[in-house]
Amino acid sequence: MKTVVILGSTGSIGTNTLDIVQRFPGEFRVAGLTAGSNDEVLEQQIRTFRPRLVAMSNESAAAKLRQRCSGLGVEILSGQEGLVQVASAPEADLVVSAIVGGAGLLPTLAAIRAKKHVALANKEPMVMAGKLMQEEARRHGVRIFPVDSEHSAIFQSLEGHRLVDVRRLILTASGGALWPLSKEELQDVTPERALQHPNWKMGSKITIDSATLMNKGLEVVEARWLFDIPESRIDVLIHRESIIHSLVEYEDRSMIAQLGLPDMRTPISYAMRYPERLPLDLPSLDLTEVGKLSFCKPDHERFPCLGLGYESLRVGGTMPATMNAANEIAVDAFLNGGIRFTAIAEIIRSTMDAHQTKDVDTIDTALEADRWAREKAESLVLALAR
């Protein structure tokens, strides 16, 4: 029996995680849940899973939840402080990190410092401070298990092999909702159009990141720190069907890949129960039905954000954190109708150009770069506002 805490339990990854918990009542017990502001969904989850401790980052949502859940024996905390407290709940063995964005950095770090293993979906903290997070995990004797489907595929393809034999990691990318569009067509894309992902149903931020290919840029940085491999040995391959979730090439030119129908419950359950595999009652991948798989190279001209991910790693230090923060601001502005789709990449580019990078020797340095980049990107959004 594993005792788990789920950070971001009301989101796409969070609800998929609770689906696994519900399917295997003998395997998991829920000690804590957190959410941003969706008190209605969180209330339902409290009634179903009976955690001891919950937190909401939004104070007024937490107050509403306290009224509705009085008598249920649950302690309801709020704010960043509350999230950190739930993330370090003494009875938890494993923390599923599934908040979206840099907001997950301090709670995830708190979990590591409280000696919890982490199942990591929330990739942005790895982009902001991946090296420090890995150092903290080593220092506290815990592991960070990837949930992101590509990183789970690589993790699975590395099992039983020696890291010194790895030639390169190959991350696959669906290309997102807008892959077929021309450069001109991309100018006038609406948020509704960009949110129509062909293969995955996910939160809105990551769905826009998939459409710009920034998601793959973030994943290159995530892979660099999860697997301790330099960016020069990480490649990206467009694979529209999302059946091969990623590959590892070894020195003898053998390639090992992990395949499956796109369903996040597979990588989530692997991260939660590693090295065991839970008998998930899901449809099997039928390759005769798929028939053909297709591959092509990424297009950096139409989708410059992938290149920014590589560039942020080559510059190093606080540059990935800067890129990530500018992206969060720009995606938000696009979703709110404030800027054009193509302005997302422009805002990130300009913010990175204006940034003077520093070594990330403490979390505060990463957080300071994050704050600086948010302000810079906000001012660029205002200047571009339609």
Tell me the closest approach of the beta carbon of residue 182 to ligand NAD, in angstroms: 27
Tell me if 148 contacts ligand NAD by CB under 6 A: yes
Residues sharing a CB contact under 8 Å with residue 231, sequence separation 6 or more, in sequence order = 220, 221, 224, 310, 313, 314
194 binds, among ligand NAD, Mg ion, none (CB under 5 to 8 A by kind): none
Q: What is the 3-state secondary structure (H, E, C) of the chain?
A: CEEEEEECCCCHHHHHHHHHHHHCCCCEEEEEEEECCCHHHHHHHHHHHCCCEEEECCHHHHHHHHHHCCCCCCEEEEHHHHHHHHHCCCCCCEEEECCCCHHHHHHHHHHHHCCCEEEECCCHHHHHHHHHHHHHHHHCCCCEEECCHHHHHHHHHHCCCCHHHEEEEEEEECCCCCCCCCHHHHHCCCHHHHCCCCCCCCCHHHHHHHHHCHHHHHHHHHHHHHHCCCHHHEEEEECCCCCEEEEEEECCCCEEEEECCCCCHHHHHHHHHCCCCCCCCCCCCCHHHHCCCCCECCCCCCCCHHHHHHHHHHHCCCHHHHHHHHHHHHHHHHHCCCCCCCHHHHHHHHHHHHCCCCCCCCHHHHHHHHHHHHHHHHHHHHHHCC
Tell me if 10 contacts ligand NAD by CB under 6 A: yes
User: Mask 244-273, x = binds ligand NAD (CB under 6 A)?
Assistant: --------------------x---------
Tell me if 100 contacts ligand NAD by CB under 6 A: yes
Site residues (CB under 5 A) for Mg ion, limited to 137-156: 148-150
Residue 83 or 329 with smaller CB distance to ligand NAD: 83
Q: How many Å apart are CA 77 and CA 55, to the nearest integer?
A: 4
Tell me if 124 contacts Mg ion by CB under 5 A: no
Tell me the closest approach of the beta carbon of residue 356 to ligand NAD, in angstroms: 27
By beta carbon distance, the residue nearest ligand NAD is: 11
Q: Which residue in the set 29, 116, 117, 123 belongs to the binding site for ligand NAD (CB under 6 A)?
A: 123
Residue 100 or 313 with smaller CB distance to ligand NAD: 100
End-to-end CA distance of the chain: 54
Q: Which residue in the set 62, 95, 206, 271 belongs to the binding site for ligand NAD (CB under 6 A)?
A: 206
Tell me if 124 contacts ligand NAD by CB under 6 A: yes
Query: Cα 56 to the chain's mean position, in Å?
Result: 19
Residue 249 or 328 with smaller CB distance to ligand NAD: 328
Number of residues that bind Mg ion (CB under 5 A): 3
By beta carbon distance, the residue nearest Mg ion is: 148
Tell me if 77 contacts ligand NAD by CB under 6 A: no
Using CB under 6 A, which of the segments 3-11, 62-70, 283-291, 352-360 binds ligand NAD?
3-11
Tell me the closest approach of the beta carbon of residue 378 to Mg ion, in angstroms: 27
Residue 86 or 350 with smaller CB distance to ligand NAD: 86
Tell me the closest approach of the beta carbon of residue 5 to ligand NAD, in angstroms: 13
Tell me the closest approach of the beta carbon of residue 173 to ligand NAD, in angstroms: 12
Tell me if 6 contacts ligand NAD by CB under 6 A: no
Q: Which residue in the set 69, 94, 98, 220 belongs to the binding site for ligand NAD (CB under 6 A)?
A: 98
Tell me if 121 contacts ligand NAD by CB under 6 A: yes
- Burial class from Cβ neighbours inside 10 Å (0-12, 13-18, 19+) for residue 190 reads exposed
Number of residues that bind ligand NAD (CB under 6 A): 26
Q: How many Å apart are CA 215 and CA 309, to the nearest integer?
A: 9
User: Mask 185-204, x = binds ligand NAD (CB under 6 A)?
Assistant: ---------------x-xx-
Residues contributing to the site for ligand NAD (CB under 6 A): 8-14, 35-36, 38, 57, 83, 98-100, 103, 121-124, 148, 200, 202-203, 206, 264
Residues contributing to the site for Mg ion (CB under 5 A): 148-150
